[in-house]
Amino acid sequence: MTTKAIIIEAGQHTRSLDTRSSHPKALDVEKHSNKPVLEWIVSSLRQHHIHDITYIGNYHIEKVIQKFPKINYIYYTPQDAKNEIEALKLFENSQNDNIFVIRSDMIILPSAFNLDTENKICLFYTSPIVTHENLAMLYVPSDQYQQFSQITNNNKMSSLHEINNIPQDSILISHKILEKNAASISNRLLLSQVVFQGKGKTLENMAPLLQKSIVLEQIRFSYQAWSENPNKIIENIQKKYPCTNVVVRSNTSTEDNIESSHAGAFLSILDVFTKDSDTVQYAIEQVIESYSKNDRICLPQDEILVQAQVENIKASGVILTREPRTGSPYFVLSLDTKSGRSDLVTAGSTEHIENYYIAWKSQNSFCNPYVEQITEVAKELLTIAPIDSLDIEFCIDAENKIYLLQVRPLIIKNKPTFQDSEILDNLVEIKNLLHAKFEKNPYLSGHHTVFGIMPDWNPAEMIGLTPKPLAFSLYQKLIGNQAWALARSVLGYKEIDEPLIHSFDGAPYIDVRASINSLLPRDLTAHIETAWNDWCIEQLRENPFLHDKVEFDIYITCLSPNWSKYEARLNKALTDKKDVLHFHNEVHRLTNHIFKNYQSILETQSLKLQALSNNIEKYISSSTHTHCGNIRKLINHIISDGIVPFAILARLAFISMSYLKDFVELKVFDETTKNNFLNAIPTIASKLTNDLRLFQKKKISLESLLSDYGHLRPNSYEITSDNYAANPNLYLQSHTNGMHESISSSNIDGKNILEPYLSTIDVLLSDLRLEINASQLIHFITSTITMREYAKFEFMKGVNKILTLIEAWGSTIGLNKEQLSYLHIDDILRFETDSLPTANVNHLNKTISFHKKKHSMLCSYLLPELITKPEDVFLFKLGAWKPNFVTLNTVIADVVYLKDSDSISELKNKIVCIEAADPGYDWIFNHNIAGLVTAFGGVASHMAIRAAEFNLPAAIGCGIEKFNEVKNAKKLHLNCADQILKVIK
């Protein structure tokens, strides 16, 4: 009886925008041998005289055939087979031969075929952890093949691993462990398990090879040795480290191996003074005790590691050699230069952590000398280690000596979709585009610019950092092309005809130079405009934390009460006092014009919004062509009667907020009074709260609620985001319990709140020579804020209608919402006048496929929040205000705030908020939580690493201000792919 082999396509394909570089996992090259995976498999089979080999696959099978023309092939389409078992059924074993079924992503050594199968069906795993990912191959004896086929058919299995579920009384199944004989190409276990043998041994193995860092000498001993003679071990420690501080570290058999880091799972203790035997013994026993938590049993071979403690630490931290969410080629550095300790970065217990992202190809000069030193250490380790995803813990002493405290494999759940070279080449293309964008624009004043995700119209909040093409292009067409600037010119600001939002390979960025120009008074001289723009740009470069506050803290957009503050800015930007006076006079004229005409402005915008509301429902289509025509007409209608009015009202509301902010700064009233006044202003948000309360009391129906609010979507421009009408249970009915009553729902008049301060406000307005009194100003503020919210509510009806029409259009040609989300709006609009034959539909499908790849590429690299020069795309420091997002997952869930690690609460399916990313909270991972948010902690903290291992969406280190907001929320939207952390309720 002969033996045949089936190699079944497995693993994540290597996809590229250039399809010539795309290939199945079987053609991935193992870097040390420079051989593709399939060559390892075929070579091993042939050494065992197995020559009848069949490859069953789908993805770019033509490339496999080209490289391996002498084996057999079975090609299948997604309709033929949707999983491994269905693909296996395509093979006909007519001779009832012995069969090996091998997954195509596995490196198999010849010795793997020497194991005795005991004439049973045998599953071969790469490690004792029996999971689908670790299954390397399957053996089926000839006399059991028919029975095996029948059982897999009857049990409706999808993966080879599920064969474990077959009852043992039905068929005999055995398991074999191919330790050091097989490994997935993705985890490099074949090479790495030799090097990564726990914390102590790993450092010991690497020490002789290092030139740019130092590994301290160590004492290692097992739990068994400690149990037998603790006094002898303490003597050895005191002899090697007399009268000094040491660190007692965990070093268990389950730590820091290639499959799991267990980062922070066990205890390490600093500042253990060796002269005191009791102190040494207590520290060791505390570390050993930590080995038994979470139902783990302390094993005799578990070790304890003792090292001298590095003193006079100037810097410490962690550097990862890949970005942990995506596996992309970045060094990710979390650096502590403040505390003088070596453990605060991993503990996530300090705010003073600097986070840097350095692309592998970066040639930038380093602003911080420690960054360059540590990056060089990481590069050296990459030449030594057999894998390129490392988690490196270090410290630097007063003599600038770098000590390696730990080197472990970095466990990355989301394997890179693209090749490193392609990601890095794309960054080069973005940098080249930015060089052109940073040049002087003849249509805008100012020599310089920066690009940001948060200034002005704030695309990061509205569409996210990685929007899909439809959402981005729709946002750009509605707002970013012309409407944003047109609205400002209506009010008397400078007229410009340049886009506000730019796409850097799909990432939306605001051109801050265009933003500044659009908020200048109309009749300034050119040299004043240029000087003011350049000063504002420089201020933002020097104070990047202001990137979401530019209109309040950098620009001057109106004449407001605390004018001395704004005048100080002008005096720094403009050297000539006449220019300062001219700027003041033009701002005064602009502000007076707005105040004198605001009521007619509000009336005009109100009429336009009402016209939009009345006419939205007339856009109903009966064919693919009228769909596209109505979409275009509706877009134009929304721009003129929805977006522009909203933008006008939003600008007026910004002026209102500037006045309130200045009144607090001038101590006219305090922050609480300001907030009470704002809360008393009736808005759509307060109306929704009141209506939800009425719905809870059964005073209004769900139908009525959906009639008013059904158009709202959590992601307003994203077609795959359900609106409230599509999912009322999630968005409406689940919100009705335990709601807080707002001030605006209790009939408090905002004017009454500010009544005691009207005379003081009148004096300030008189000093500014503005033609408005305090009562009129309060009406202006109340009206503009109310109208802004109303305008947004109304134009979002139009956006929802556009998405509904697009969905209906897609259904006529067989495209679902997910597919449509990858089209640009112009891809759709062209079919108003173009026919839709099969060829065009096929072209759309190709466009969708290409845009999906582009979007996947966008998600594979990181760009800074603020780009101050083209080179920033290769090296940037993460702002202290920005959370570190872990995984690419999205969750909307209820929130629970844990004040300390002993807090017991119902955590299942909830987003857990804890102040510090402390390993003491490791127990939460046993409670099936939905997500994690922390105030402090870096991308390399223990909690970030653990969340990544559990594939748990998390926002680590969002800062105390953001944390205080989210911890008191009832429901959060945590979207790690788009880097969104938003309060839903």
pLDDT value for 161: 86
Same domain, 231 and 140: no
pLDDT (tens digit per residue) in 614-640: 888 776 655 555 778 888 999 999 999
Residue 191 pLDDT > 70: no
Contact 814/661 with Cβ under 8 angstroms?
no
Domain boundary, last residue among 374, 409, 444: 409
Segment 504-519 shows an average pLDDT of 95
Residue 261 pLDDT > 60: no
Same domain, 246 and 165: no
Give CB contacts under 8 A, 24+ apart, made by 160-169: 160/8, 160/84, 160/85, 160/88, 160/101, 160/103, 160/123, 160/132, 160/135, 161/123, 161/130, 161/131, 161/132, 161/135, 162/85, 163/121, 163/123, 163/138, 164/123, 164/130
Look at residue 913 and tell me if it is in a domain. Answer: yes
Segment 14-27 shows an average pLDDT of 83
Residue 411 DSSP SS3: coil
Segment 168-182 shows an average pLDDT of 78
Same domain, 14 and 159: yes
Q: Percentage of residues in the chain with pLDDT exceeding 90?
A: 36
Lowest-pLDDT range, 52-66, 199-213, 736-750, 879-893?
736-750
The torsion angle over the Cα atoms of residues 306, 307, 311 and 316, rounded to 10 degrees, is -90
Same domain, 205 and 169: no
pLDDT value for 118: 74
Residue 735 pLDDT > 70: no
Look at residue 262 and tell me if it is in a domain. Answer: yes
Lowest-pLDDT range, 222-236, 441-455, 950-964?
950-964
Residue with tokens 């999630």: 730
Which is more confident, 353 or 227? Answer: 227
Same domain, 216 and 351: yes
With vertex at residue 883, the alpha carbon angle to CA 880 and CA 887, rounded to the nearest 5 degrees, is: 150
Can you give the residue range of the structural domain that contains 272? 191-409
pLDDT (tens digit per residue) in 100-147: 999 988 888 777 888 777 778 888 988 888 888 888 899 988 888 888
CATH value at residue 171: 3.90.550.10
pLDDT (tens digit per residue) in 73-110: 999 888 888 888 888 888 888 777 888 999 988 888 77
Residue 552 pLDDT > 80: yes
Residue with tokens 């856009």: 619
Number of domains comprising the chain: 3
Mean pLDDT in the chain? 84
Domain boundary, last residue among 370, 390, 409: 409
Residue 358 pairs in a beta bridge with 331, 875
What pLDDT band is residue 340 in, cutting at 50, 70 and 90? confident
Lowest-pLDDT range, 39-48, 195-204, 780-789, 880-889?
195-204
Residue 262 pLDDT > 60: yes
The torsion angle over the Cα atoms of residues 897, 900, 904 and 905, rounded to 10 degrees, is 0
Residue 450 DSSP SS3: coil
Look at residue 110 and tell me if it is in a domain. Answer: yes
Contact residues for 670 (Cβ-Cβ < 8 A; gap 6+): 664
Domain boundary, last residue among 358, 381, 409: 409
Q: Please report how the helices 230-240 and 277-290 are oriented relative to each other, as an axis angle in degrees rounded to 10.
A: 120
Neighbours of 131 (CB within 10 A): 11
Residue 103 DSSP SS3: strand
pLDDT (tens digit per residue) in 390-421: 889 999 999 999 998 888 888 777 777 788 88
List the structure tokens of 541.
Answer: 């470069």
Region of 909 on the Ramachandran plot (φ > 0 left; ψ -120 to 50 alpha; else beta): left
Residue 222 pairs in a beta bridge with 303
pLDDT value for 666: 94
Q: How far apart are CA 211 and CA 228, in angstroms?
A: 38
74: phi then psi, degrees, rounded to nearest 5: -125, 120
Contact residues for 825 (Cβ-Cβ < 8 A; gap 6+): 470, 473, 474, 477, 635
Contact residues for 91 (Cβ-Cβ < 8 A; gap 6+): 6, 54, 56, 74
Same domain, 165 and 208: no
CATH value at residue 908: 3.50.30.10
Look at residue 507 and tell me if it is in a domain. Answer: no
CATH value at residue 356: 3.30.470.20
Q: Please report how the helices 644-665 and 671-680 are oriented relative to each other, as an axis angle in degrees rounded to 10.
A: 150
Look at residue 538 and tell me if it is in a domain. Answer: no
What pLDDT band is residue 259 in, cutting at 50, 70 and 90? low
Residue 942 pLDDT > 70: no
Contact 870/438 with Cβ under 8 angstroms?
yes
pTM, full prediction:
0.74
Look at residue 657 and tell me if it is in a domain. Answer: no
pLDDT value for 347: 56
Q: How far apart are CA 474 and CA 901, in angstroms?
A: 45
Which is more confident, 708 or 590? Answer: 590
Look at residue 531 and tell me if it is in a domain. Answer: no
Neighbours of 276 (CB within 10 A): 13
Region of 188 on the Ramachandran plot (φ > 0 left; ψ -120 to 50 alpha; else beta): left
Residue 10 pLDDT > 70: yes
pLDDT value for 581: 95
List the structure tokens of 770.
Answer: 């503005």
Same domain, 239 and 176: no
Same domain, 200 and 182: no
Segment 214-237 shows an average pLDDT of 89
pLDDT value for 531: 96
Contact 54/4 with Cβ under 8 angstroms?
yes
Same domain, 175 and 199: no
Same domain, 126 and 168: yes
pLDDT (tens digit per residue) in 298-336: 888 888 889 888 889 899 899 999 988 888 999 999 888
Same domain, 232 and 215: yes
Which is more confident, 964 or 244? Answer: 244
Contact residues for 571 (Cβ-Cβ < 8 A; gap 6+): 580
pLDDT (tens digit per residue) in 890-920: 899 999 888 654 455 678 889 998 876 544 4
pLDDT (tens digit per residue) in 674-694: 878 887 887 776 777 778 778
Neighbours of 435 (CB within 10 A): 11
Look at residue 672 and tell me if it is in a domain. Answer: no
Residue 984 DSSP SS3: coil
Q: How far apart are CA 636 and CA 482, in angstroms?
A: 12
Residue 317 pairs in a beta bridge with 335, 394
Same domain, 78 and 59: yes
Residue 957 pLDDT > 80: no
Q: How far apart are CA 428 and CA 430, in angstroms?
A: 5
